[in-house]
Amino acid sequence: MNANESLEFIAALLILAGSVLSVISAFGIIRFPDVYTRSHAATKSSTLAVLVTLSGAFLYFWVTESFISVRLLLGILFVYITAPVAGHLIIRAAYRSKVKLSEITVEDELEEVLHKEEREEPSK
């Protein structure tokens, strides 16, 4: 087994790991009780799944074709930057729209922070 075959195997493992992470993410989206925990599953594990899969594809094309794909690198960068930010903004909008937390939620740390901000802002 030479170096290229070893790197192809590693690339295939990365793509397989990305698909397994994606399935785990889908189970999290289905099983979690409220929009906040579902978003956590959708953003964290899905982002990792896409990054691992794209990294495997990048490595595969680099090893087999001697081709460095700028599109794959930009895709990795774009997903890495935008997915967590989008998830955060969606959850922040849901919280400010007063979407209920699940019954099993123990603590709401953001409640006192937001109420403190509302008290400090002057009325317009």
Cα distances (Å, whole numbers) of residue 120 to 59, 92, 93, 115, 117: 52, 20, 21, 9, 5
Q: Cα(first)–Cα(last) distance of the chain, in Å?
A: 72
Q: How far apart are CA 43 and CA 62, in angstroms?
A: 28
Q: In whole angstroms, what is the distance from residue 99 CA to residue 106 CA?
A: 16
Diameter of the chain measured on Cα atoms: 72
Per-residue pLDDT tens, the chain, 124 aa: give them: 788 899 999 999 999 999 999 999 999 999 988 888 888 888 888 899 999 999 999 999 999 988 898 999 999 999 999 998 999 999 889 888 888 888 887 777 777 777 776 666 665 5
